[in-house]
Amino acid sequence: MKTLRNIVAVALVTVSIIACKSDKEPEVKTIETTSEINTNAAKKLDPNATYAKAEFGIEGMTCAMGCAKTIEKKIAKMDGVKSAKVDFEKELAMVEYDDAMVTPKTLEEAVAKAGDTYKVKDMKTVESFSTEKKECTDKNKKDCCANKTEAEKAACKKLCSEKKA
């Protein structure tokens, strides 16, 4: 019994010595990566260009930091895109772009390239984004107060009447 214990102890010590590395410095591996960051974005934006604004819904997003930010960065890196914002909670993307360089179709393709699960819906060109505060005038009063709850409509009408005074 005693010899069996000694044999097991010697075997464990031998295995641990053989298995351990004798190098005291950690192994360092260098991995080359390529970066797709567009550092010349400011140079590619034409100050004389006609910029259009598009709003569209995005289906298939499951998180704000992963999905929404990935799509936002993918669109913002496109040549001709001045700004891009993706709101995860509203499932809404707002993009301002040079209409000579970017089309709604290329925006849709960029979203598809960001992930197979993302689908664009209700693409439309707008004068101003829905999150921007609109100046209330008699001309746009009907549009300003449309598609809102009764409380929002009341607040909108109050705002419009204050602007007249």
* Mean local confidence (pLDDT), 72-85: 91
pTM for this prediction: 0.53
State residue 72's pLDDT score.
Answer: 92
Report how far apart the first and last C-alpha atoms of the chain are (Å, whole number): 104
For the chain, the 3-state helix, strand and coil shares in percent, each to the nearest 5, are 40, 20, 40
pLDDT digits (tens, 9 = 90+) for 8-59: 989 888 877 776 655 566 667 777 765 454 444 444 667 778 888 899 999 9
Q: Which residues contact 124 (CB under 8 A, 6 or more apart)?
A: 54, 55, 56
What's residue 165's pLDDT? 46
Span 124-133, average pLDDT: 72
Pick the CATH number of 46-126 from 3.40.640.10, 3.90.600.10, 3.40.50.300, 3.30.70.100: 3.30.70.100
Q: Which residue has the higher pLDDT, 128 or 136?
A: 128
Share of the chain above pLDDT 90, in %: 18
So where are the chain's domains?
Answer: 46-126, 134-165
Q: Which residues on adjacent β-strands are paired with residue 129?
A: none
- Other C-beta atoms within 10 Å of 102: how many? 22
